[in-house]
Amino acid sequence: MMKLFAFLKPLDIYLFQQLDLLKANSFYLQIIDRVSALNSSAQKITYQVASFSIIFLPLFITTLLLMANCSLRSDLDEKYLIKENIDLYLKNKNILNAMDNMMATQEIKSAEELTTKIESVLNGLKVSARNASVANFNTDESWGSITQVSADLNFSDFSMEDFAAFITALISEKINIHNLNINRNPANQTIKGDIHLVIFNRIQQYQYEEQ
C-alpha cells in the first residue's frame, strides 16, 4: 500500500499544478463567469460533467493507448509468426530441392540392381564389367518416400582415362561417391581400389484402382 501511495503522490502533485495553471488562464476564468451566471441546478450538472471529464477522460485515453499498444504488439507477433513459417517453408523447400538433385536417376533397391547399373555404365565406356564388383550393399535409412542405400565398389585394371570417365558417369547417374581409395600398379600403369557409394532413392508408390 505504501508503494502505491508513493507512486500516486507525484501524480497528485502534477495534477494540482496543472489545475493551478488552468485557474490562471483567461479562458478558464471566462468559463467560470459563464457557469456562475447559470442557475444552481445547471451549475451542479456542469460541475458534475467537468468532474467526470477530469477524472475519467485521462483513464479513457490511457485505456485507448493500451488497447492500441496491445493491438500493435499482436500485429507484430502475428507478422513475426508468419515470417517464421515462411522461413521454415523456404528452408524445407531448399532441402527437398537439394535432395532431388541427389536422387538416383533409377531406383536401386538391391546389390543386383546396383551391379546391373554399374555394368551398364561400364559397357557404355567400353570397359569390361569384370573390372568392378559390388560388395556390402546396405539400406541405411528411410525418410518417408526417400531411402538411402550404400555399397562398396571394388575395381581393378582401370586406366586413368577410363577411371575418370567412369567416375563422371557415376556422378551423372546421381550415384554419390563418399570415399575413394586408389592404388597404382606400376607394372601395367593401371589403377585399382575401392569406392564407397551412397545412393538416394525416391520410392515409387503405385496405386491400384478397384475394379
Domain range summary for the chain, segments of one domain joined by +:
22-97, 111-202
What span, in angstroms and rounded, lies between the C-alpha atoms of 195 and 93? 31
Beta carbons of 181 and 171 less than 8 angstroms apart: no
Predicted local distance difference test score (pLDDT) of residue 155: 93
Q: For the whole model, what pTM was predicted?
A: 0.50
Residue 133: name the closest of 110, 156, 149 by CA. 156
Paired residues of 149 in beta bridges? 139, 199
Q: What is the DSSP string of 61-89?
A: HHHHHHHHHHHHHHHHHHHHHHHHHHHHH
Predicted local distance difference test score (pLDDT) of residue 10: 62
Three-point CA angle 53, 55, 60, nearest 5°: 75
Selected from 3.30.70.60, 3.30.710.10, 2.10.60.10, 3.40.50.300, the CATH number assigned to the domain covering 111-202 reads 3.30.70.60
- pLDDT tens for 76-115 read 666 666 666 666 656 655 655 555 555 656 678 889 999 9
Mean pLDDT within 49-58:
55
- pLDDT tens for 152-203 read 999 999 988 888 899 888 888 888 888 888 898 888 888 899 999 988 887 6
